[in-house]
Amino acid sequence: MKSLTFTRSYAVLSLALAWLCGTAGASTLFWGSPFPGGTPLLVDSNGQPLDGSYSFEIGSFGAFVPTYQNVDQWVANWKVFDRAYDPTPADPFDGDPEGWNTEFGFFAGTVDHNAAGGSDSPDANPLDVFAQGEKIYLWAYNSKDIVPTSEWALVTDSNLVGNNGDAWIFPDPLDPPGMSYDLQLDDADEAVIGGVNGVQGPGGYTSTPPLFSLQTAVVPEPGSAFLLFAAAAAHFIRRSRRLTRSVMP
């Protein structure tokens, strides 16, 4: 009888320890865009409100650094932490069960960063790890394929001065339970492609709205992005040479 009692007690203790270990570290990340208040703040390259075909993902590239010139490598290096989208884009007035409310033009998400460094989002790869200190990006897109109809915005928060929310950096996976972080689109200040908070970054546009929180841009084909970069570099070199000659005695 003592042996059976000991066995049961040991099993209960093991389960309790396992539960404690599983909840020893976990924090919650809240993320999203501001409520527009009647003004479209999420727009495409034509300045039109984003529709239900768009998705919004937060995540990390790990050690990879995304640039306008290496867009063809983004998908292979991207780790999805959470996603907001409209599962029924044909019906924009059915609410926002997955975080993207096309009727009112805002997105929002809530997701846990667990003790193993992973995400509890169903849209995340359970094998991906988001280590402490990795930079968080927001990727908005209507398709991740690089085709003429694709539009992207990839933005992040690099300047923490004046932030209303928290830094866009993954926290310690071993944070005590109950810790939370607020990632606000209003704090984003760097656009790898597209525009953020009234400032357009690289990409193709046909309209510049006077006010926006996020604007997608036409995605360049890898070759054209390189050519644009090379042309800009050549122009800078020629201009520098002309300035040098003008100051020579």
Q: What is the pLDDT of residues 95-141, one digit of tens each?
A: 556 799 988 899 999 999 999 999 999 999 999 999 999 999 999 99
Q: Whose structure tokens read 């780790």?
A: 79
Give the tens place of pLDDT for each residue, 141-163: 999 999 999 999 999 999 989 89
Q: How far apart are CA 207 and CA 141, in angstroms?
A: 18
Instruction: List the Cα angle 50/51/57 in 5-degree steps.
Output: 70
- Mean pLDDT of the chain, nearest integer: 83
In a domain, 13, yes or no: no
pLDDT given at position 214: 97
More confident residue, 114 or 1: 114
More confident residue, 108 or 23: 108
Residue 213 belongs to domain spanning: 26-243
> Roughly how many angstroms between the first and final C-alpha of the chain, as a whole number?
104
Write the burial class of residue 163 (CB in 10 Å: 0-12 exposed, 13-18 middle, 19+ buried).
Answer: middle
In a domain, 87, yes or no: yes
Tokens for 62, please give them. Answer: 């790990």
In a domain, 109, yes or no: yes
Q: How far apart are CA 20 and CA 56, in angstroms?
A: 33
Q: How far apart are CA 105 and CA 92, in angstroms?
A: 10
Asked if 116 and 131 count as a contact pair (C-beta separation under 8 A), the reply is no
Report residue 249's pLDDT band, with 50, 70 and 90 as the boundaries: low
pLDDT given at position 246: 45
Give the tens place of pLDDT for each residue, 71-104: 999 999 999 999 999 988 877 776 556 799 988 8
More confident residue, 60 or 238: 60
Q: How far apart are CA 231 and CA 217, in angstroms?
A: 20
Of residues 140, 189, 192, 196, the one with CA closest to residue 167: 189
pLDDT given at position 127: 97
Give the tens place of pLDDT for each residue, 219-240: 998 764 444 444 444 434 444 4
In a domain, 20, yes or no: no
In a domain, 21, yes or no: no
CB contact set of 212 (below 8 Å; sequence gap of 6+):
40, 41, 42, 43, 47, 195, 197, 198
Q: Which residues pair with 107 in a beta bridge?
A: 100
Report the share of the chain in percent with pLDDT over 90.
Answer: 66
Average pLDDT over residues 25-43: 89
Residues in the chain: 249
Domain count, the chain: 1
pLDDT given at position 83: 97
Average pLDDT over residues 4-31: 51
Q: How far apart are CA 50 and CA 123, in angstroms?
A: 21
pLDDT given at position 36: 86
